[in-house]
Amino acid sequence: MPNHEGPPLGRRGLLKASATLLGGAMLGARAKAAPEPPFQNVNTNSSPSTLKITDLRVATVRKPGPGPCTIIRLDTNQGVYGLGEVRDGASATYALFLKSRVVGENPLRITYIFEKIKQFGGHSRQAGGVVAVEEALWDIAGKVYSVPIYQMLGGKFRDKVRIYADTEESDDIMEYAKRLKIRKEEMGLTWLKMDLGIQMVAKIPGTLTMPSEEIPWGGNRLPHPFTAAEVTGKGIEKLCEYVAAAREAVGMEIPLSMDHLGHLGVTSIIRLGKAYEKYNLSWIEDVIPWQYTDLLQRITMESPTPILTGEDIYLKEPFINLCAKHAISKIHPDISTSGGILETHKIGDAAMEYGVPMAMHYAGLPIGALASVHCAAATENFLACENHSLDVPWWQDLVEGIEKPIINKGFIAVPDKPGLGITLNEDVVRQHLVPDTGYFEPTPTWDKERSLDRLWSMTPRRQVVAAG
């Protein structure tokens, strides 16, 4: 029979065994007295593995400037909800269409759900629904794990995010310059942008060459190179008067960007880029549609003024193509179009590999603005994020739980609260709803929307019987 007794204990062995037993007893008593939660950073009111999306509802806000803007709310079976925002000017249908495809899923499977629904997004406003869902998923995840979104992206490079803004146009050159100066000196912005296009000088004879009696399609739908519009030498001189006055008012030290040059041909864009060189602009924006990569590459190579684009591009691949070909100087994704928080972070990282900085476009409500802030905080090559609502007095009142003013001397502080770090102010949101729309009303119409969503063919599954 085997002997299980082992060798006899000596004096030292006896003392060691006694200490071990005593220590174990003390630890056991301490554990019973004050149990430690196994995961201290997890919201104990939520069970992550059994979390399910139960509903998707919307509230659409009307505001001055680009709009309307739709907020979505994803509800779950555990009382945790997430907020997201459809891009300004896009239909709430882009989000509602996705309801039957996300209800029942675990919202913590963010990449899985994004891959499932991203086929229903597209360039410009068509991405709005996919992105709104993606933002809401991140908001839920942050609340469940009690961390801000930027932390789940790898942490932050900055504690506050720089903001820049458009400036209301004026035909009066000195008035326009004054408005830019107010943005700098009274609002505290540290980066400015001016809209300056051919429409500002078109009434002056001899400034623009273009066909007469333009048809509506040509003005609204025809891409820039096909309008046959070219700015003249006189037109360039008049436009430069605006820029010179702006620089005189705000100085050469502050970054100054330009947008909305107008639907011009490639040659005119290059000539303007050369004329603006002495004003040291940070960029000229969306000079032709981004799809014309070779033409953008030519403009970028010949213009000493940096070229920027990207606010209408969906997903990272087109950005990578533009950066790899050095067809632009800087990129400019809008988080509500580019694919959401994680995809935009990936876009920034990819651009950095090609030496391309990233600014961000944004024109919506605080929900998407804070999603942009979390992404910007965690993305190394970020420059500045646009805001179109500096002159909307109730914009920041739409949300609570965040430091006010939200935009403070040209920056937004990065929130440290879980998720996006904000809640809605229901009273204010209700005051600004689009007429005849509701505040997160039930959406049963979209419960059973179905289609065969697969993008590629596959062999029908058959039961495989093993040989033998």
DSSP 455: S
Q: Which is more confidently placed, 2 or 78?
A: 78
pLDDT tens per residue across span 399-427: 999 999 999 999 999 999 999 999 999 99
**Residue 14: pLDDT over 90:** no
Per-state percent for the chain, helix, strand, coil, to nearest 5: 40, 15, 45
Q: What is the mean pLDDT of the chain?
A: 90
CA distances (Å), 73 to each of 79, 118, 359, 445, in order?
Answer: 12, 18, 28, 16
Split at pLDDT 50, 70, 90, the class of 16 is very low
DSSP string, 171-214: SSHHHHHHHHHHHHHTS--SSEEEE--GGGTTTSTTSEE--SS-
Mean pLDDT for the stretch of residues 26-30: 39
Split at pLDDT 50, 70, 90, the class of 468 is low
Low-confidence winner among 40-49, 242-251, 384-393, 425-434 (lowest mean pLDDT): 40-49
pLDDT of residue 452: 85
- The residue type at 312: D
Query: How far apart, in whole angstroms, are the C-alpha atoms of residue 156 and residue 151?
Result: 7
Mean pLDDT for the stretch of residues 160-169: 95
Q: Which is more confidently placed, 462 or 86?
A: 86
**Cα angle: 393, vertex 397, 399; to 5 degrees:** 145
Domains within the chain, CATH numbers bracketed = 160-415 (3.20.20.120)
Low-confidence winner among 21-30, 203-212, 248-257 (lowest mean pLDDT): 21-30
| CA nearest neighbour of 286 among 312, 268, 265, 267 | 312
Beta bridge partners of 75: 55
pLDDT of residue 40: 52
Percent of the chain having pLDDT more than 70?
Answer: 87
pLDDT of residue 114: 98
- The residue type at 233: G
**Residue 5: pLDDT over 70:** no
Torsion angles phi and psi, residue 184, rounded to 5 = -80, -50
The CB-side HSE value for 91 (13 A sphere, CA atoms) comes to 7
Which helix (H) or strand (E) segment holds residue 54: the answer is: strand 53-61
Split at pLDDT 50, 70, 90, the class of 337 is very high
Locate 410 and state its tokens. Answer: 């040209």
Q: Which is more confidently placed, 23 or 221?
A: 221
pLDDT tens per residue across span 363-391: 999 999 999 999 999 999 999 999 999 99
Split at pLDDT 50, 70, 90, the class of 216 is low
Query: How far apart, in whole angstroms, are the C-alpha atoms of residue 300 and residue 306?
Result: 7
pLDDT tens per residue across span 108-163: 999 999 999 999 999 999 999 999 999 999 999 999 999 999 999 999 999 999 99
In the three-class reduction of DSSP (H, G, I as helix; E, B as strand; rest coil), residue 108 is classed as coil
pLDDT of residue 99: 98
pLDDT tens per residue across span 58-79: 999 999 999 999 999 999 999 9
The CB-side HSE value for 56 (13 A sphere, CA atoms) comes to 33
| CA nearest neighbour of 320 among 351, 289, 299 | 351
pLDDT of residue 13: 45
